[in-house]
């Protein structure tokens, strides 16, 4: 990791000497009018065209970027306004995938689970247009989330490869191509989403091999994060310390940090991105509550290696609730930084600065 890997995201007018990077994981509630626009675009009897929907997506991206910036976040995104679902969106852009209709996953919910029916191949870029538009609309650095190859393989029907490991490796090579294109376009913060990882024991080695392929030839100044939400983290720790990543992003708030000790023995050696607001409740955590949650992170890493974020994507929350949670999260972070500057927080002997 280069020295600038993290410091490049410190704003020029940052008010405190300490700097805890604030970010979001990815998804954000879509404006209601955007969902209505998507329904109209699907209706052959309406006069709402794909061009109209494209314009609506552009407008929604501008609105969400502005909303993120007004909360004070250090890095922003468009809230994945153009994405429908984390596997479908990418499968639809990868040669070798096809869709055969939705499958029932739980309760009355359905998922348009894709099938891999031929060798997967990289055609046109998946996210460069999205990044370039968002970057032009933003005054702050943009983080780009990408669904990881292990999850893309695990949550698809595999009808073309010998096993899911071989499919994962083939997809990892495509993700590497996409990241190279994003870096060429100016992206400096990439997050690989692998929610399937902590739910399946003994597959951490497959994900490690995927990550080695993903970061091949990617410059050190590009920050690579890995987000794994829910699950039993002890299944992948300490093996994840061998991963070629700059930051590991976890969902611990909705479990009251009962798993925080998993990351203390052996010593956590990469940066930690800690979820400090629960994305499964509409209760808005107070600034004081969030400050206590941030302090949980100091049990694992010193402040200069802690990133503050929600537990996961916030798209299922009411939009105003999501905004208030993030606004409180940023306020709490800046107050913690000021208290660190003033020497009012005892970090304890177990966490020291490098």
Please give the mean pLDDT across all residues of the chain: 94
- Classify residue 219: in a domain, yes or no: yes
- Classify residue 172: in a domain, yes or no: yes
Phi-psi region at 156: left, alpha or beta (left = phi > 0; alpha = psi -120 to 50): beta
Higher-pLDDT residue of 44, 298: 298
DSSP alpha helix (H) spans, 147-243: 149-154, 164-185, 204-214
In this predicted structure, the answer to whether residue 354 has a pLDDT above a threshold of 80 is no
Q: Would you say 203 and 235 are in contact if contact means Cβ atoms under 8 Å apart?
A: no
Q: Which domain holds residue 302?
A: 7-29+74-342
Look at 74-88, 94-108, 128-142, 335-349 and tell me which has the smallest mean pLDDT. Answer: 94-108
- Classify residue 317: in a domain, yes or no: yes
Look at 25-29, 103-107, 212-216, 348-352 and tell me which has the smallest mean pLDDT. Answer: 348-352
> Tokens 């099938």 map to which residue?
115
Residue 313's SS3 state is coil
DSSP secondary structure string for all residues of 49-71? -HHHHHHHHHHHHHHHHHHHHHH
Q: 104 has which bridge partners?
A: 110
Q: Would you say 61 and 30 are in contact if contact means Cβ atoms under 8 Å apart?
A: no
Provide the pLDDT for residue 351: 59
Alpha carbon 75 to its chain centroid, in Å, reads: 12
- Classify residue 352: in a domain, yes or no: no
18-60 pLDDT, tens digit each: 999 999 999 999 999 999 999 999 898 999 999 999 999 999 9
**Mean pLDDT on 97-109:** 79
Strands 271-275 and 306-309: parallel
Residues shown for the chain: 354
- Classify residue 319: in a domain, yes or no: yes
Provide the pLDDT for residue 202: 76
- Sign of dihedral through CA atoms 33, 36, 41, 46? negative
For the chain, the domain total comes to 1
- Classify residue 80: in a domain, yes or no: yes
CATH of the domain at 138: 3.20.20.210
In this predicted structure, the answer to whether residue 4 has a pLDDT above a threshold of 90 is no
Please report how the helices 287-297 and 319-341 are oriented relative to each other, as an axis angle in degrees rounded to 10.
Answer: 60
Cα atoms found within 13 Å of the Cα of residue 116, Cβ hemisphere only: 26
161-178 pLDDT, tens digit each: 999 999 999 999 999 999
- Classify residue 34: in a domain, yes or no: no
CA distance 287 to 296: 15
Q: pTM of the prediction?
A: 0.94
- Classify residue 235: in a domain, yes or no: yes
| Terminal C-alpha separation, the chain | 14
In this predicted structure, the answer to whether residue 17 has a pLDDT above a threshold of 80 is yes
Provide the pLDDT for residue 23: 97
**Mean pLDDT on 11-18:** 96
Strands 157-158 and 115-121: parallel
Report residue 120: phi and psi, to 5°. -80, 140
What tokens were used for 139?
């005054």
Q: How far is CA 128 from CA 31, 51, 143, 178, in A?
A: 23, 19, 12, 8
């Amino acid at each position: 990791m280069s020295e600038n890997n993290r410091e490049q995201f410190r704003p020029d007018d940052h008010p405190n000497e300490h700097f805890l990077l604030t970010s979001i994981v990815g998804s954000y509630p879509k404006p209601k009018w955007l969902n209505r626009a998507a329904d109209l675009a699907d209706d052959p009897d309406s006069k709402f065209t794909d061009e109209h929907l494209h314009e609506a997506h552009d407008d929604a991206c501008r609105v969400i970027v502005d909303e993120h910036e007004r909360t004070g976040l250090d890095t922003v995104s468009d809230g994945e306004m153009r994405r429908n679902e984390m596997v479908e969106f990418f499968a639809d852009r990868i040669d070798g995938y096809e869709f055969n209709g939705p499958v029932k996953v739980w309760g009355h919910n359905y998922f348009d689970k894709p099938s891999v029916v031929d060798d997967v191949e990289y055609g046109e870029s998946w996210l460069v247009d999205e990044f370039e538009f968002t970057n032009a609309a933003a005054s702050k650095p943009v983080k780009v989330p990408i669904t990881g190859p292990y999850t893309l393989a695990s949550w698809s029907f595999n009808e073309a490869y010998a096993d899911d490991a071989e499919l994962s490796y083939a997809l990892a090579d495509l993700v590497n191509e996409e990241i190279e294109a994003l870096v060429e376009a100016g992206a400096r913060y990439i997050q690989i989403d692998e929610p399937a990882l902590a739910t399946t024991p003994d597959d951490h080695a497959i994900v490690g091999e995927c990550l080695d392929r993903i970061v091949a030839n990617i410059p050190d100044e590009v920050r690579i994060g890995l987000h794994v939400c829910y699950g039993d983290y002890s299944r992948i720790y300490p093996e994840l310390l061998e991963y070629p990543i700059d930051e590991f992003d976890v969902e611990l708030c909705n479990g009251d940090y009962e798993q925080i000790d998993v990351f203390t023995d052996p010593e956590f050696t990469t940066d930690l991105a800690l979820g400090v607001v629960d994305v499964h409740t509409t209760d808005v955590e107070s600034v004081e509550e969030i400050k206590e949650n941030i302090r949980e992170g100091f049990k694992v890493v010193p402040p200069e290696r802690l990133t503050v974020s929600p537990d996961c994507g916030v798209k299922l929350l009411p939009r105003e609730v999501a905004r208030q949670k993030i606004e409180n999260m940023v306020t709490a972070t800046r107050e913690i930084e000021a208290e660190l500057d003033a020497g009012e927080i005892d970090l304890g002997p177990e966490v020291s600065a490098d």
